[in-house]
A and B are shown apart, each in its own frame.
Chain A
Amino acid sequence: MAENNSRNSDRIAGVLLLLLSAGYGLEAIRLQADTGYMADPLGPRAFPLLLATALAIFSLYLIFKPDPDPNWPPKRVLLAQLSMLVSFVVYSYALAPLGFLLATTLEMTWLSRLFGADWRSGFLGGLGLALSLYVIFVFGLGIPLPLGHWWPG
């Protein structure tokens, strides 16, 4: 649990945002374009530089006047969230080779587990969800979803 007087979250956010504004601003300066002609006196650089400057000012404000930290979740929840994110990444890559039905069933079984289901109901729920989404999207909306490389034909 975070202490009440700790204000590090906003300071870290401020530093990261300051870095973002610096990187974004430098990238904007490097843009090559003919600027200064009549039809477009500003060119592609001005608006991004305006944004970068404003962001830099506001992130300095955040560093010097931070709010109290929020209650970050306990380790157990953080681990569950992390495993959920990892499964999202795996799912994104696995969707095409495994096919929508298999990948979605597996992914939903895992997510249901994370939200407290037992393996059996999680699997059945995931299978039902995958099948109904497949029917809705492929047959109802006419949007092809991958069947997977293992599928015959």
Chain B
Amino acid sequence: MDVLASLAHGFEVALTPLNLSLAFSGAFLGTLIGALPGIGPVNGVAILIPIAYALKLPPESALILLAGVYYGAEYGGRISSILLNVPGDAGAVITTLDGYPMAQKGKAGEALALSAISSFIGGTLAVIGLTLFAPYLAEWAIKFGPAEYFALMVFAFSTLASLAGKNPVKALIASIFGLMLATVGIDPGSGVPRFTFGEMKLYDGVDFLVVAIGLFAISEVLTMMESSYMGSAQRIKVQTALVSFKTFMFSLWSILRSSLIGFFIGVLPGAGASIASAVAYTTEKRLVDREGTFGTGDPRGVAAPEAANNAASGGAMVPMLTLGVPGSGTTAVLLGALMMFNVTPGPLIFEQRPEVVWGLIASMYIGNIMLLVLNLPLVGLFARILTIPRWFLVPSIAALSFVGVYAVNNSAFDLLFMTGIGVVGYLMRKAGFPLAPVILGLVLGRLMEVNLRRALAISGGDWSILYAGTLSKTLWALAILSLLFPYLVSLLGPRRQDLSLDE
């Protein structure tokens, strides 16, 4: 058993005291970040990258910490959904539908416990799926040539475009903007500086971290200026989080089905936790809601989206690790972080850096158990976090962004650039341009251009190589199909459900 041996090696990496404590810190911080409305997993991961960098962690340890924040945030998001009817992040929007009614009925503790257990089952099943599928996908992807890679990236952008926002054209524009940012700097193929306008600081390219933090965190701070929600949650009292065995068994099938749905949606490029939880909820409603109790505090309505959004965050790791093509904003940020540590994910990573992949996968088994243990008894503590006043919380996000970016290069130019990108991000959010494609474009841009140029070098300048192979043809067809998908749905169905949430 090849997989088991590799996994055992992964556990050796994950069980070192350093990595164990990083998995714990990631899980703890992730729950916190998820619980606080406004800072979602993307912001959390982006803000923590400079700290991981400054600690001079080896890449596998940094990834264990940052991934812990990512899947931990999916656990935390439900807390304010249930207690305040305000989702902690995009993946927890659906949890408000039955979670808040349960809390109003005095069953807040039960809802929190059940959702923690559902999160654990969803998260763990997804890691098992990751363990089983990732090596095979990587083995298959090793045969990809540059033309296939180029087509694969086009496919990733087009699915993201059709799913990430209301208007696919705006998502495509956002992708191109990201790709354009990636072309700034010295061209690796010819050594010519491009789009630098003589600014030496831009010769190395646009700093990924500066863009990620500006785009997500600074634009979030600007957005928060608008909202009227003042976050005074004084009435929260949760003593115990316990759920009866009977309620758990009542929800078990919903949890298992939703975990499967969540995992496979997570694997798809472009579709992440928010879409997974929405699909799982509607599926369960159709399948098991015979008395019409969904929406009035049905425990299955809490269990289903929570299992699904945690499973989706595990599933989203599959394309990021095996293909090097992330499918969501957060996994794109994780990929960018890995590149900062000189590790390039992709099919070869399983052979070249097994300690990074398998260490991460093993740490996810451990992290999920830690999260369950953290979230059952300590939920009262996390609930108290919600009482932090907004006038302190929002400036803290800004301060962390500034100090993090400054710590990497000690440059005022970076801070100004981050502020500028923050303004662009804010205007994009307002006008309905999704942000995730920008970061995906920035992370994949170089790779996309390199593969295009390699493909054309092989063919001697003949563009038809891009769609010559069967695999490339299939990927191009899928890409076009996914772009047409929203229009086909609106032609067939009465109206398309609005699932457009930023990851």
Residues of A within 8 A of B (CB): 9-10, 13, 17, 24, 27-28, 31-34, 36, 38-44, 46-48, 51, 54-55, 58-59, 61-62, 65, 67, 70, 72-73, 77, 80-81, 84-85, 88-89, 91-93, 95-96, 100, 104, 107-108, 111-117, 121-122, 125-126, 129-130, 133, 137, 141-143, 145
Complex partner residue of A125 from B192, B226, B391, CB under 8 angstroms: B391
Determine the chain A residues whose CB is within 8 A of the CB of B419 once the complex forms: 85, 88-89, 92
Q: How far is the CA of A122 from the CA of B401 in the complex (A)?
A: 19
Q: How far is the CA of A100 from the CA of B179 in the complex (A)?
A: 34
Residue-wise interface mask of B (154-193) relative to A, using a CB-CB cutoff of 8 A (1 in contact, 0 not): 0000000000001101101100110110010001011010
Total residues of chain B contacting the partner, CB 8 A? 59
Q: Report whether A67 and B167 are in contact in the complex, using a CB–CB cutoff of 8 Å.
A: yes
Complex partner residue of A116 from B172, B176, B390, B398, CB under 8 angstroms: B390
Q: How far is the CB of A110 from chain B (nearest CB, A)?
A: 9
Complex partner residue of A73 from B192, B226, B395, B456, CB under 8 angstroms: B226
List which B378-402 residues lie within 8 A (CB) of chain A. 389-392, 394-396, 398-400, 402
Q: How far is the CB of B424 from chain A (nearest CB, A)?
A: 11
17 pairs, CB–CB < 8 Å, chain A vs chain B: A9-B431, A44-B192, A46-B453, A51-B180, A70-B431, A72-B430, A88-B398, A91-B415, A92-B419, A115-B395, A125-B395, A126-B395, A130-B399, A137-B54, A141-B407, A143-B54, A145-B406
Determine the chain A residues whose CB is within 8 A of the CB of B484 once the complex forms: none
B273 within 8 A of A: no
A14 closest partner in B (C-beta): B173
List which B195-231 residues lie within 8 A (CB) of chain A. 195, 218, 221-222, 224-226, 230
A47-B461 CB under 8 A given contacts A40-B190, A85-B423, A92-B415: no
Determine the chain A residues whose CB is within 8 A of the CB of B167 once the complex forms: 67
Determine the chain A residues whose CB is within 8 A of the CB of B407 once the complex forms: 137, 141, 143, 145
Q: How far is the CB of A141 from chain B (nearest CB, A)?
A: 4
Q: Report whether A115 and B452 are in contact in the complex, using a CB–CB cutoff of 8 Å.
A: no
Determine the chain B residues whose CB is within 8 A of the CB of A41 once the complex forms: 453, 456-457, 460-461
B416 within 8 A of A: yes
A111-B395 CB under 8 A given contacts A13-B431, A62-B169, A81-B225: yes
Determine the chain A residues whose CB is within 8 A of the CB of B430 once the complex forms: 9, 70, 72
A84-B225 CB under 8 A given contacts A40-B457, A108-B399: yes
Q: A43-B189, A70-B432 are in contact. List 5 more A-B contacts (CB 8 A).
A: A44-B187, A44-B192, A92-B416, A92-B419, A115-B224
Q: How far is the CA of A27 from the CA of B452 in the complex (A)?
A: 21
Determine the chain B residues whose CB is within 8 A of the CB of A107 once the complex forms: 399
Q: How far is the CA of A128 from the CA of B389 in the complex (A)?
A: 15
Q: Report whether B457 and A95 are in contact in the complex, using a CB–CB cutoff of 8 Å.
A: no
Complex partner residue of A44 from B173, B194, B225, B457, CB under 8 angstroms: B194
Q: How far is the CA of A55 from the CA of B438 in the complex (A)?
A: 13
Q: Report whether A142 and B460 are in contact in the complex, using a CB–CB cutoff of 8 Å.
A: no
